Amino acid sequence: MTAHGRLAWLTPQELDASARALYDRITGGPRAQGPRAFALTDEAGRLQGPFNAMLRSPEVGSALQELGAAIRYRSGLTPRAREIAILELSVLRRCSFEWYAHEHAGRQAGLTAGEITALHDGAAVPTLDPLETLVRELVRSLVRDRDLDDGAFAAASAALGERGLMELIALVGYYDLLALSLRVWRTPLPAGAEPPFK
């Protein structure tokens, strides 16, 4: 078997029935439609990124991939705000695969090369609108403090409403979990991809 970080990298033919059902939901769901941030599989059909690990527990993996699909494709956050939040989290967690995947998704959502570079470097991004700037600040608080103080909560509630704030909290929790999984399993970047963090 081919290794993929700390895990065997399984082809579709090597999966049992429950893992194969999850594989089919991942590769046949919204992530596989339209422009993609990265190739979901390699040439042998093996899942890339966090999805290979999800196959180890199909019940948990199924719930996780469905949560991720809801955050990506059914939340009220604008595509730019969503990608800013994910990129900010990937910088704070130094998660190379998340940055790799969502740098491209950020470009698809309309982020400029200069905005992406500034996000990567932790610099100010004056071209972000007030909501996008707030989202970036909220992600920092949620990751670093695991909370929002009263001022941040009031600003978030006014700008996002309860639904938007719940979706942002879920986004941070989900991508934080993925970052942890990617780190623990030592999930590599696809062949030829440059590591974004030294």
Domain final position from 54, 72, 90: 72
Task: Give the range of the structural domain holding residue 98, as residue numbers without chain letter.
Answer: 78-183
Statement to judge: residues 99 and 163 lie in one domain:
yes
66 and 82 housed in the same domain: no
Residues 155 and 87 reside in one and the same domain: yes
198 inside domain: no
CA 129 to chain centre: 22
Domain edge (last residue) among 29, 55, 72: 72
pLDDT at 37: 66
Q: 96 and 170: one domain?
A: yes
* Average pLDDT of the chain, as a whole number: 94
Let me know if residue 196 belongs to a domain.
no
What are the respective helix, strand and coil percentages of the chain, to the nearest 5? 65, 5, 35
**Contact criterion met (CB below 8 Å) for 52 and 187:** yes
Structural domains of the chain, count: 2
Q: What is the pLDDT of residues 110-164, one digit of tens each?
A: 999 999 999 999 999 999 999 999 999 999 999 999 999 999 999 999 999 999 9
Beta strands 2-4 and 7-9 are: antiparallel
End-to-end CA gap in the chain = 30
User: Residue 35 falls within a domain, yes or no?
Assistant: yes
In angstroms, rounded to a whole number, what is the distance separating the alpha carbons of residues 83 and 124? 16
- State whether residue 119 is helix, strand or coil: helix
Tokens of 121: 């470097």
